[in-house]
């Protein structure tokens, strides 16, 4: 019996060594496998469609009422996968917003807010979505609010998570850096990436160092010039260091919103200051606000389960 136990321990040791070696030799392959596993845990499948002759890649899964999830600036569809696994009984659609992730990047086209919302509307049309809930984080919140105001007949509810377009009287660290000529979304190296992550999160999600490097290089550094084009287009400016970000407001847009609105905000947000909540509330007639303690700019990534519970309670009409 002891011999069999000994063989078992040796086998486990060999497997661990082999897996560890595979991780160090092929970290990108392991990263892809990990991402695929996370998508499967949320019952999400990667798909793509052509919109205006351009590719939009998205995740889709589940049955029930549809929820459209829109990621923030520099992000992609997988920003929502840890959050998405809590939404059994709903039909989720999570696109790479045009210009980001695996969706098309066309340098000759504009990526201003109206153009992007128009692309999202045509994407919705291709998928034949009639009515749905829409939620957005940061930049995605700007698009969600703008879309909801323009298409009240389609939108059941709107959820804004640390949304852009809600300027606070208190300057966030991000805005302070902009005023010094430093746009922290311009990621040129690993050091820039680490500084941005420290800005975005109170506590970074646990992740192997090799995975962080892959995300830094493939998601941010490789696309930084195009990201800055999108930034300039959104703010209608020429300089990526422009402080016009602080003047972007969705207040007038919100006055046209008819759907119930959930506001979720991390109380330690250093990108969009929590003072922006009052701006949103002032412009809305039907809203609920959830402030998340010890949370930064991206609640669905930093605290996916807690954020999902707040959203599900809202969708189910709980106080």
pLDDT in tens, 70-118: 999 999 999 999 999 999 999 999 999 999 999 999 999 999 999 999 9
Provide the pLDDT confidence category of residue 8 given band limits of 50, 70 and 90.
very low
pLDDT in tens, 252-293: 899 899 999 999 999 999 999 999 999 899 999 899 999 999
Q: Is the pLDDT of residue 137 over 80?
A: yes
Q: Which two tokens stand for residue 91?
A: 């039909």
Which pLDDT score is estimated for 168? 86
Rounding to the nearest 10 degrees, give the CA dihedral for residues 60, 136, 267, 260: -110
Domain boundaries along the sequence of the chain: 28-168+248-315
**Third-level CATH fold of 28-168+248-315:** Rossmann fold (3.40.50)
Letter string b/e over residues 287-310, b meaning 16 or more CB atoms within 10 A of that residue's CB = bbebebeebbbbbbbbbbebbbeb
Burial class (CB in 10 A: 0-12, 13-18, 19+), 120: buried
């Amino acid at each position: 019996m002891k011999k069999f136990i000994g063989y078992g321990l040796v086998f486990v040791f060999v497997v661990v060594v082999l897996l560890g070696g595979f991780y160090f030799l092929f970290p990108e392959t392991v990263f892809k496998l990990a991402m695929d596993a996370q998508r499967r845990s949320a019952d999400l499948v990667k798909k793509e469609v052509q919109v205006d002759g351009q590719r939009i890649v998205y995740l889709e899964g589940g049955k029930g009422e549809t929820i459209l999830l829109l990621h923030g600036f520099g992000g992609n569809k997988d920003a929502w996968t840890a959050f998405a696994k809590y939404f059994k009984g709903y039909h989720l659609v999570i696109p790479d917003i045009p210009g980001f992730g695996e969706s098309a990047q066309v340098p000759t086209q504009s990526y201003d807010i109206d153009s992007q919302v128009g692309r999202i509307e045509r994407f919705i049309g291709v998928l034949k979505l009639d009515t749905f809930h829409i939620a957005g984080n940061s930049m995605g919140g700007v698009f969600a609010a703008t879309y909801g105001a323009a298409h009240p007949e389609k939108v059941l509810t709107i959820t804004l998570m640390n949304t852009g377009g809600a300027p606070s009287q208190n300057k966030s660290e991000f805005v302070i850096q902009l005023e010094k000529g430093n746009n922290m979304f311009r990621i040129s190296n690993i050091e820039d990436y680490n500084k941005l992550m420290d800005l975005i999160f109170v506590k970074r999600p646990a992740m192997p160092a090799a995975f962080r490097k892959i995300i830094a290089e493939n998601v941010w550094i490789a696309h930084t010039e195009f990201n800055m084009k999108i930034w300039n287009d959104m703010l209608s400016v020429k300089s990526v260091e422009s402080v016009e970000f602080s003047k972007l407001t969705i207040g007038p847009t919100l006055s046209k919103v008819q759907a119930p609105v959930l506001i979720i905000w991390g109380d330690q947000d250093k990108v969009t200051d929590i003072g922006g909540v009052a701006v949103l509330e002032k412009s809305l007639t039907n809203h609920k606000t959830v402030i998340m303690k010890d949370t930064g700019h991206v609640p669905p990534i930093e605290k996916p389960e807690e954020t999902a519970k707040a959203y599900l309670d809202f969708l189910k009409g709980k106080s």
